Each structure stands twice: as C-alpha cells, then as structure tokens.
Amino acid sequence: MTVDLAAIRHNVQEEMQRLAGKSALFAVVKADGYGHGAVAVAQACQQAGATGFCVALLDEALELRAAHFTEPILVLGITPPEQAAIAAANDVSLTFGSLSWLTAAAEDLQARTNTPLKVHIALDTGMGRIGFRNAADLRDAADYLAAHQDLFLTEGVFTHFATADEKDTTYFQQQAQKFNGLVAVLPKKPRYVHVSNSATSLWHAACNGNMIRFGVALYGLNPSGRGIPELPYPLQPALSLTSELTFVKQIHAGDAVSYGATYKAQGDEWIGTVPLGYADGWLRRLQGFHVLVNGVPCEIVGRICMDQFMIRLPENTPVGTTVTLVGSDHGETISMQDVADYSHTIHYELCCILTQRLPRRYINR
C-alpha cells in the first residue's frame, strides 16, 4: 500500500484556501487515518496547515500525543467517563451527550486530577447516534457545566449531518434548523461551533461555523461517491495498492480454480496467483472484478482466498510482474470508488478494512 503524502497536503491546502481563515480545520485521522496511517497522515496535515485533529477513541488521541503532536485533539465518540482524568492529563478534548456522563466524569476528575477536562457538547439533530435531543436536557447540562467550571472547560458544541452528501437538501436543512435552535439554549457559545464534515464543507460551506472536521476528502475521496461529482477543486487520491504475481500456470478447458470450483476454464488459459486476500482486506465478494497487469484489465477468477487470489492473464506473464489493485498502470486506472461500486459498499469501508498485514510505503514526505 502506497500513500502519497503530497496528495494529502494538496487536499488540505485546497480546503484551507477555501476557508480563508474563517474556520479552523481539524483533520480527521480516526481508524488509523482511514487505513492510511494516522501518524503519517497527521504529519502531512500539520505541514499543510491543519490546526487540530479529530479521532474516534481516546486510544487514537493518545497515539498522536505519543507521536508529539501538540495541536488540539477531539475524540468524537463517547469515551467511558472513568477515562476523563486520563484525557485531561493529556490535553485531549472529549465529547459528551448526557448529564449522566458529566456527573460520572466529574467523579473521576475529582478523584484523580486537578486538571480540568475540555469537552464538546454533542447535539443529535437527526443523525440518531449520540447527543442531546431536546432543549430541557441541554439546559440542565449547561447549568451543570456553569456550576463546575473547575472540572470542565466547555470548548465546543457540534452536530453531524446525515445527508450532507446527497443532492436532496430537505433533511439537511431540517437538521441545520434544529442545531441552531438547540445552540440558542446555551447561555454562551463555546470556542468551537462546528457542524461540517467533508461533505458539508464542500457543498454547504455557509454552514461551516468556525471549525470543520475534514475527513474523507483529505484522503482524496469524494464523500458522496458518485452522487455529487461536482467539486470545488480536484481531490487527489492518496492511496494505491499493488502486489505481484507469485505463480503463473496454464490450465485447460474444464479445469477449476479456487474453493468451491466456482470457476472453470473454457479453454487454454493462463492463470496468475496474487499473494493477497480477504485477510488483507481484499474482499471475497470481489470475485469477478479485475486488476491491472501491464495496463491490461485481468479478471479475478474463482473465490478470493484468505491470503491469495487468482486472475486470468492474457498471456504467459513472468512471476514478479506488478499487479495493480487500486491505482494507475500504463494509463489505465482502478479507483477505490470502482472497487466500492463492484462491492456494493462505500470507499470509506474499503480503506478502513485494509489490514496491518499490508506493508505501508509513504512517498513525498
């Protein structure tokens, strides 16, 4: 797996230019940087001007702190309240969406540290995931925060849009209206008011607030897949995936390939074996898709195995020849979106399931 850090810097710099200093950009590097490698991606984003980072888990935040990042880090998911003191000690901001979480976190802070915890208030405006859903509960939490300023620093308030990557903006507008109504309940707006993921910032920039959470677009992937092809600037995909042929043989009419004998040759065929499989994140359902060998699309034949898969070659091809699974070869390209389309899923998922068994190579540091 090759990750082009220049592409990541390009995507961040393009978005920073659009923001024109009106909003901070927090790079989302959760899930090991969407499978690209959190630390290396964070370094590239830092070089490009990102002012903070978002992750999903406290452990992911601590990985960045261990790598000597000093920028603000926000954990977007709900962290167990008994880890509040650890977060405070490492200057990591946590998300909460209930008064009960606050009271439990207060107990941990009082018992284990003198350092106040930075918190962001999550508002559930229609995502149905985490956060306050009504004004009364939010008001109670705001009162609690005001009474316990020695324990908590209210750093932000945010929501997450469910349909920002769709052309129909009806539900998006309903969420935006609900967010504004809930924020009005707060006696004072915190430092960061943020609603924008990549899709929101790209296509609904007027909603950005003073911070955006720049996620999948920083990796060069369109948040909508093919739903909204129009972009304010070209995104540069950062990830490519290559392997090589480890075995080549000729089979004959009626010969079967792989588990279940689901593929049988129609005649004399050259079959190549590629040392990569579903244990690496190359899904079993990709049988029938293709890869590139010397720029030629070669069909994946037979079921993909845990560690290997087979392809039909146009001719006898030397062992060691490069096989391109994602990326460009001799002017032909397979994008992560192409793989996602065939897999009936989204490119987010495919990036995240590429396993650590795949060697990572970073270029253009």
pTM: 0.96
CB 127 within 8 Å of CB 160? yes
CATH of the domain at 68: 3.20.20.10
Residue type, 287: Q
Check residue 157 and give its pLDDT.
Answer: 98
Residues 32 and 101 in one domain: yes
Residue type, 95: T
Q: Which two tokens stand for residue 289?
A: 């898709």
Residues 203 and 84 in one domain: yes
The SS3 call for residue 82 is helix
CATH of the domain at 357: 2.40.37.10
Residues 162 and 265 in one domain: no
Residues 97 and 50 in one domain: yes
Question: Closest by alpha carbon to 34, among 347, 333, 363?
Answer: 347
Check residue 70 and give its pLDDT.
Answer: 98
Query: pLDDT tens track of the chain, all 365 residues?
Result: 999 999 999 999 999 999 999 999 999 999 999 999 999 999 999 999 999 999 999 999 999 999 999 999 999 999 999 999 999 999 999 999 999 999 999 999 999 999 999 999 999 999 999 999 999 999 999 999 999 999 999 999 999 999 999 999 999 999 999 999 999 999 999 999 999 999 999 999 999 999 999 999 999 999 999 999 999 999 999 999 999 999 999 999 999 999 999 999 999 999 999 999 999 999 999 999 999 999 999 999 999 999 999 999 999 999 999 999 999 999 999 999 999 999 999 999 999 999 999 999 999 99
Q: Is 306 marked within a binding site?
A: yes
- Exactly one of 233, 259, 263, 264 is catalytic; which is it? 259
Residue 63 included in any domain: yes
Residues 198 and 268 in one domain: no
Phi-psi region of 18 (alpha: psi -120 to 50; beta: other; left: phi over 0): alpha
Residue 54 included in any domain: yes
Question: Closest by alpha carbon to 3, among 32, 30, 36?
Answer: 36
Q: How many domains does the chain have?
A: 2
Check residue 332 and give its pLDDT.
Answer: 98
Q: How far is CA 200 from the centre of its chain?
A: 15
Residues 176 and 259 in one domain: no
- 259: annotated active-site residue: yes
- 362: annotated active-site residue: no
Domain that holds residue 316: 239-363
- Exactly one of 30, 192, 263, 278 is catalytic; which is it? 30
Torsion 235-222-357-326 (CA) sign: negative
Q: Is 303 marked within a binding site?
A: no
Strand ranges (E), 49-133: 52-55, 73-78, 93-96, 117-122
How many beta carbons lie within 10 A of that of residue 181, not counting itself? 12
Q: Which two tokens stand for residue 40?
A: 């290396």
Residue 178 included in any domain: yes
Q: Please state, in angstroms and rounded to a whole number, the distance separating the CA atoms of residues 3 and 307.
A: 22
